[in-house]
Structure 1
Amino acid sequence: MKLTNLRTLFFLTILIMSTTISKAANNAQISYNVSFPEAQAHYADIEMHITGLQQNTLELKMPVWTPGSYLIREFAKNIESFSAEANGKAIASPKINKNTWQIVTKGVSAVTVKYRVYAFELSVRTSFVDASHAFLSTTGIFVYPANMLHSPAIIHIAPYKNWDKVSTSLEMVNNDPFTRHSPNFDILFDSPIEVGNQDVFSFDASGVHYEICMYGGGNYDKEKLKADLHKIVEQEVAVFGENPNKHYVFIVHNRQRNGGGLEHLSSTVLGASRDSYANDKGYQGFLSLVAHEHFHLWNVKRLRPIVLGPFDYDNENYTTNLWIAEGFTEYYQGIIVRRTQLFPVENYFEAIESEFNTLENLPGREVQTVAESSFDAWIKAYRPNENSNNTTISYYNKGAIIGMMLDLEIINNSKGKYKLDDAMKYMYNQYYKTLKRGYTDAEFKAAFEKFAGKKLDDFYAKYINGLTPVDYNKYLGYAGYKIVDELAGKNDAALGVATTTTAGKKVIVTAVQRGTAAYIDGINVNDELTAIDGTPVTDAAAIISGKKPGDKITVTVTRDGQAIDLPVTLLKNTRVKYNIVSVDNPTEQQLAVRKKWLSL
Structure 2
Amino acid sequence: MKPIKLTATVSLILLFMNLSAAQAQPSANISYNVSFPEAQAHYAEIEMHITGLKQNTLDLKMPVWTPGSYLVREFAKNIEAFSANINGQIVASPKINKNTWRVNTKGKAAVTIKYRVYANENSVRTSYLDVSHAFLSTSGIFIYPANMLHSPSTITIVPYKDWSKVSTSLEMVNNNPFVRHSPNFDILFDSPIEVGNQDIFGFDVNGVKYEVCMYGGGNYDKERLKKDMHAIIEQEAAVFGENPNKHYTFIVHNHLRGGGGIEHLSSTVLGASRDNYASEKGYQGFLGLVAHEHFHLWNVKRLRPIVLGPFDYDNENYTTNLWIAEGFTEYYQEIAVRRTNLYPPENYLDQIANEFNILENLPGKNVQTVAESSFDAWIKGYRPNENSNNTTISYYTKGAIIGMMLDLEIINSSNQKYHLDDVMKYMYNTYYKTKKRGYTDAEFKKGFEMFAGKKLDDFYKKYINGLDPVDYNKYLGYAGYKINDELADNNDAALGITTGTTAAKKVIVTGVTRGTAGYIDGINVNDEITAIDGNPITDAANLIAGKKPGDKIQVTVSRDGQNITLPVTLLKSNRVKYKIVSLDSPTPQQLAVRKKWLSL
Partner SS for 1:482? strand
The answer as to whether partners of 2:27 and 2:148 remain within 8 angstroms in 1 is: no
Q: Deviations over 1:417-442 (max 9, x none)?
A: 00000000000000000000000000
Work out the CA distance in 2 between the residues paired with 1:27 and 1:184. Answer: 12
Partner SS for 1:382? coil
Q: Does 1:552 align with 2:552?
A: yes
The answer as to whether partners of 1:492 and 1:546 remain within 8 angstroms in 2 is: no
Q: Does 1:496 align with 2:496?
A: yes
Query: Greater CA deviation, 463-472 or 21-30?
Result: 21-30
Q: For residue 79 of structure 1, what is the aligned residue in structure 2?
A: 79
Partner SS for 1:209? strand
Q: For residue 140 of structure 1, what is the aligned residue in structure 2?
A: 140
Work out the CA distance in 2 between the residues paired with 1:197 and 1:416. Answer: 50
Structure 1 residues 500 and 19, CA gap change in structure 2 (3 angstroms): closer
1:445-464 equivalences in 2 (<5 Å)? 445-464=445-464
The answer as to whether partners of 1:219 and 1:274 remain within 8 angstroms in 2 is: yes
Q: For residue 70 of structure 1, what is the aligned residue in structure 2?
A: 70
Partner SS for 2:314? coil
Work out the CA distance in 2 between the residues paired with 1:353 and 1:157. Answer: 47
- Show structure 1 runs of 4+ deviating over 2 A: 18-27, 538-541
Structure 1 residues 180 and 597, CA gap change in structure 2 (3 angstroms): same
1:525-564 equivalences in 2 (<5 Å)? 525-540=525-540, 542-564=542-564
Q: Deviations over 1:215-250 (max 9, x none)?
A: 000011111111111001100000000000010000
1:248-263 equivalences in 2 (<5 Å)? 248-263=248-263
Amino acid at match of 1:587: T
Pairwise CA distance, 1:416: 0.5
Pairwise CA distance, 1:27: 3.3
The answer as to whether partners of 1:556 and 1:565 remain within 8 angstroms in 2 is: yes
Work out the CA distance in 2 between the residues paired with 1:93 and 1:312. Answer: 23
Work out the CA distance in 2 between the residues paired with 1:229 and 1:491. Answer: 45
The answer as to whether partners of 2:256 and 2:273 remain within 8 angstroms in 1 is: yes
Work out the CA distance in 1 between the residues paired with 2:595 and 2:22. Answer: 56
Q: Deviations over 1:259-304 (max 9, x none)?
A: 0000000000000000111110000000000000000000000000
Pairwise CA distance, 1:571: 0.7
Work out the CA distance in 2 between the residues paired with 1:252 and 1:374. Answer: 27
Q: For residue 311 of structure 1, what is the aligned residue in structure 2?
A: 311
Q: Report how many residues are paired.
A: 583
Pairwise CA distance, 1:23: 7.2
1:343-382 equivalences in 2 (<5 Å)? 343-382=343-382
Partner SS for 1:67? coil
Q: Which runs of 5+ in 2 are unaligned?
A: 1-17
Structure 1 residues 365 and 385, CA gap change in structure 2 (3 angstroms): same
Q: For residue 505 of structure 1, what is the aligned residue in structure 2?
A: 505
Q: For residue 49 of structure 2, what is the aligned residue in structure 1?
A: 49
1:143-154 equivalences in 2 (<5 Å)? 143-154=143-154
Work out the CA distance in 1 between the residues paired with 2:546 and 2:123. Answer: 43
Q: Deviations over 1:28-85 (max 9, x none)?
A: 1000000000001000000000000000000000000000000000000000000000
Q: For residue 12 of structure 1, what is the aligned residue in structure 2?
A: none
Pairwise CA distance, 1:491: 1.1
Amino acid at match of 2:110: A
Q: Does 1:296 align with 2:296?
A: yes
1:65-464 equivalences in 2 (<5 Å)? 65-464=65-464
Partner SS for 2:543? helix
Pairwise CA distance, 1:515: 0.6
Amino acid at match of 1:382: Y
Give the TM-score normalised by the residue count of structure 1.
Answer: 0.96
Partner SS for 1:544? coil
Partner SS for 1:431? helix
Q: For residue 523 of structure 2, what is the aligned residue in structure 1?
A: 523
The answer as to whether partners of 1:206 and 1:237 remain within 8 angstroms in 2 is: no
Q: For residue 473 of structure 2, what is the aligned residue in structure 1?
A: 473
Work out the CA distance in 2 between the residues paired with 1:35 and 1:25. Answer: 30
Q: For residue 4 of structure 2, what is the aligned residue in structure 1?
A: none
Work out the CA distance in 2 between the residues paired with 1:328 and 1:543. Answer: 40
Work out the CA distance in 2 between the residues paired with 1:350 and 1:27. Answer: 55
Greater relative contact order structure (CA < 8 Å, 6+ sep): 2
The answer as to whether partners of 2:22 and 2:150 remain within 8 angstroms in 1 is: no
The answer as to whether partners of 2:330 and 2:397 remain within 8 angstroms in 1 is: yes
Partner SS for 1:491? coil
Pairwise CA distance, 1:206: 2.1
The answer as to whether partners of 1:159 and 1:196 remain within 8 angstroms in 2 is: yes
The answer as to whether partners of 1:41 and 1:130 remain within 8 angstroms in 2 is: yes
The answer as to whether partners of 1:21 and 1:55 remain within 8 angstroms in 2 is: no
Pairwise CA distance, 1:25: 4.7
Work out the CA distance in 2 between the residues paired with 1:129 and 1:318. Answer: 31
Amino acid at match of 1:66: T
Q: Give percent identity, aligned residues only.
A: 80
- Give me the CA root mean square deviation: 1.3
Q: Does 1:39 align with 2:51?
A: no
The answer as to whether partners of 2:26 and 2:147 remain within 8 angstroms in 1 is: no
Work out the CA distance in 2 between the residues paired with 1:382 and 1:130. Answer: 26
